[in-house]
Amino acid sequence: MKRSRIKPISDKQKRIIANEREVANKMLEECQGQCMICGEVTRLEKNHTRDRTRFIMSCHNCHFPNGYHKYLDDGEKGTD
């Protein structure tokens, strides 16, 4: 039997992804399809911190300003 080159996703990672999906769906309902940064009504994506435990829903322009990926904590320097 030929082995697959694709690594299977661990059960822990599947739970993390499922939890993020549930939280993202709740956030979409709360913000009613508007970007949580600029308020634009468009397709939204998860914009997260470097540790991926916190995220908000933001539009493509806020997530990738000037074509560069931006983490939430890049704008939060010095604030906790």
> Shortest CA distance to 56 belongs to which of 70, 35, 32?
35
* Confidence label for 76 from pLDDT (cuts 50, 70 and 90): low
Cβ within 8 Å of residue 64, ≥6 positions away: 70
Q: Pick the closest to residue 61 from 36, 26, 78 (CA basis).
A: 36
Q: How many domains does the chain fold into?
A: 1
Domain membership flag for residue 17 = yes
Q: What is the pLDDT of residues 54-72, one digit of tens each?
A: 888 888 888 888 777 777 7
CA distance to 4, 15, 30, per residue, from 26 (Å): 36, 17, 6
**pLDDT tens-digit readout, 3-56:** 777 778 899 999 988 998 898 888 888 888 888 888 888 888 888 877 777 888
Q: Domain span at residue 15?
A: 11-74
36 is a domain residue: yes
